[in-house]
Amino acid sequence: MNYRHAFHAGNFADVMKHLALVAILLHLRKKDAPFAVIDTHAGRGLYDLSGEQAARTGEAAGGIGRLMVPAVMQSALPEALHRYLAIVEGASARFYPGSPIIATMMLRPQDRLVAIEKHADEAAALKSSLAAFRNKALHSETADGYVRLTALLPPRERRGLVLIDPPFEDADEFAAQARAVAAALKKFATGIYLLWFPVKSAAEANEFAGEVLTAGAKKALRIDLDIGAAERVAGEKERLSGSGLIVINPPYGFADDMRAALQYVAPLLSDKARFEVRWIAGEE
């Protein structure tokens, strides 16, 4: 499959992934010590939901669109969900912020972001998107995130988050992601890793989880969200309905944060939605 982000920005998978990103960064902010965020597949930063690619799929309407409504925005929300929606609202109704922009909005003066994107056009757009934040410690580069990652580890801050969110353009993407994690853990075993993957086959997703554990993850949480089989439109390709995250070395309390947020979010995304948050290695 090709998960090029412009077509899917703001969909249900982004909602879960970016909720997790915000929740982790809220935990990292609890200590004064600086942290780094390394985003290996950063994309373009901002996505125009009125653009041709987003309009072609309309996935944002069934994702973030179901949350950005007065009844939700005026509710008493879990902290991570409240912060996430506030960041999205700040980007305006037309644009959806990708992971590097969301991370940037969460950085303090002492924190740092490294955003990597290998597609030249996307990397140029990313650089432009980040240019607005002149008061933040930001660095973007055009490179293969898998190749660059180990050279950036361990970060000088000795604490932080690595986000690996590939577009799944290549047939061996699961294996490439697992290899990258294995190499990264050898250099930064105490880091927090947030791994996203599509769930089109339960067997494939389970095999990937096993490869992550084999790579050396001693403490890992898996989060799955399925919104149920979408109705097919004649001539349209089957749409993704399942999304997964593996979080290595999650902060204390993160699992409960995600359960609370998804308990609120899942029914809004679909009346068929179900989610699961479970430890696959170690425990809190």
Q: Is residue 190 classed exposed, middle or buried when 0-12, 13-18 and 19+ CB atoms within 10 A define those classes?
A: exposed
Closest to 6 (Cα-Cα) out of 39, 51, 63: 51
- Positive or negative CA dihedral for 198, 200, 202, 207? negative
The amino acid at residue 141 is: E
Query: Which residues are catalytic, by number?
Result: 165
Cis bond upstream, residue 198 (ω within 30): no
Closest to 13 (Cα-Cα) out of 270, 279, 271: 270
Closest to 240 (Cα-Cα) out of 224, 262, 259, 222: 224
